[in-house]
Amino acid sequence: MLLYQSENLTVRGQFQAGLNLVAETNLFWDLASRAAGNTAFEADTQWLEGFIEPGLGFERRLGPDSSLFGKLSAVGSYTAGTDAFDTGDVGRFTLEEAYLGYRADLGGGWAIETSLGSRALTLGTGMLIANGGADGFERGALKFGPREAWEMAGILQVSRNRAKATAFYLEPNEMASNDTANRMAGIDLRWDGEGGGFAGLTYLHVLESEAPYPQAAPGGVGAPAFLPGARDGLNTVNFYGRTEPFEGPLEGLALALDAAWQWNDRIDLRAWGGRIKAEYTFAGHPWRPVLSYSYQVFSGDDPKTRRLERFDPLYYDGAPKAWATGSKSAMVFINSNVQAHHLTLAVTPTQRDIITLRYAHVRAHQLRSPVQFGQATRVDFSGGTSTVVSGVTDAHLSDDFFLEYTRVINPHTFLTGGFSISIPGKGIDRASGGDAPNWTGAFLNVVVNY
């Protein structure tokens, strides 16, 4: 929203708000009562959540090739009723973005931009660095997840034509109930080609962290151990790329690859993860179908070794269209010790209507090894943090189906509804003692964005 404009100053406002009605049945396949023996946890629940995000940004031109810029915004969120993590009638109003920056055109195709403060930053496809703000629990708005900005972000970008180097320092916006004092720094190198293709390489180092890791019991027999502050000192290298190299009948085919390697000599950690993806757009057909397949896998800790092989997904984009492992299952399994085949079909019957069907076949990577822990994936069954599933004896975890419909009411207002079902596999069925029920859910939301 343009509020003011002169020769040297531009001021813009922003406003986003949303309401979301959610209903869940047999939450977490009713593992609370079946596996943990907690009959007080309500496996069937409904809640209403909402958020508002007002903001104000400016750009002050210092000359023909340079300017100062900045932004200030906040998020207010609330949940009425009891959500999936047994929390409700709670919310918070928190600072979102608050940063100042400088950019300049240096000539010869070179440009520089730097900023400091609370700001959103996504690297690559969002496999590791995307979601800088935590939601749910005492902040409310669990499903919406409106917070994305890092609490502190120091960013320096130098670019020339289609190549860009980004140096960064990041502190996530964590909740008081789950603040593990994470600090990270690194560099990202990216090249953007014509037609939507790109390639990049990210290196990051965790400077400080109190976040623990789970480690499988020897031989997978017994409860996992927890290593305090294990994330401290983690190193990660992440390659990402996408290409659309074909012409003729295969012109609509895009291929993508993400791969990451992690190591931490302090705790003898070696881990890996990645994804391959193929997507085809039927551009000349009615409803313009888009069909995609992906396979993603993240290493789990091998209970037969003393080394730790658990992949740390850090702050990934957990949306279904991004890096969620399944639709409903993503609320239980983070991107560690899991693998999933995803199949997605999206159609647009009109310019205002989008229908998407997603299917995910989710499996564990290592048997008898923790498959759920961390990144605010906490379920308080008995007044304390506990893992839903610490390990399985069969790799098949679930099959998730998710049908979603979006209606563009006008350029600023969007209505979305969906239904999902997660059918437990043998791994979950055995963990629950047998005959675990299907987990179903539905939602209806409206979002306004200016």
* Token pair recorded at residue 215: 């480690």
Q: How far apart are CA 87 and CA 175, in angstroms?
A: 14
Let me know: does 439 contact 328? Beta carbons within 8 Å.
yes
Q: How far apart are CA 369 and CA 310, in angstroms?
A: 9
DSSP, residue by residue, 145-186: -----EEEEEEEEEEETTEEEEEEEEE-B--GGG----EEEE
The region of weakest confidence among 48-52, 81-85, 344-348, 419-423 is 81-85
Q: Per-residue confidence at 383, pLDDT binned at 50, 70, 90?
A: very low
265 Cβ partners below 8 Å, 6+ apart?
233
Strands 290-298 and 88-107, by their bridges, are: unpaired
As a whole number of Å, the CA-based R_g of the chain is: 22
Give the residue carrying structure tokens 């959610």.
Answer: 22
Higher pLDDT among residues 434 and 71, named by residue: 71
Q: What is the pLDDT of residues 388-421, one digit of tens each?
A: 467 899 999 999 999 999 999 999 999 999 999 9
Per-residue confidence (pLDDT) for residue 233, from 0 to 100: 98
Q: What is the pLDDT of residues 349-377, one digit of tens each?
A: 999 999 999 999 999 999 999 987 544 44
Which residue range forms the structural domain that includes residue 101? 2-449
Average pLDDT taken over every residue of the chain:
93
Q: How far apart are CA 5 and CA 7, in angstroms?
A: 7
The mean pLDDT value for 60-76 works out to 97
Per-residue confidence (pLDDT) for residue 218, from 0 to 100: 93
CATH code of the domain in which 378 resides: 2.40.160.100
Q: What is the pLDDT of residues 189-227, one digit of tens each?
A: 999 998 889 999 999 999 999 999 999 999 998 888 889
Domain count, the chain: 1
The mean pLDDT value for 422-432 works out to 93
- Percent of the chain residues topping a pLDDT of 70: 96
Q: Which of 301, 273, 425 is nearest to 369 (CA)?
A: 301
Q: What is the pLDDT of residues 294-332, one digit of tens each?
A: 999 999 999 999 999 999 999 999 999 999 999 999 998
Task: Please check the confidence at residue 386 and state whether its pLDDT lies above 50.
Answer: no
Structure letter (DSSP) for residue 8: S
Indicate the pTM of the whole model: 0.93
The mean pLDDT value for 228-254 works out to 94
The mean pLDDT value for 32-41 works out to 77
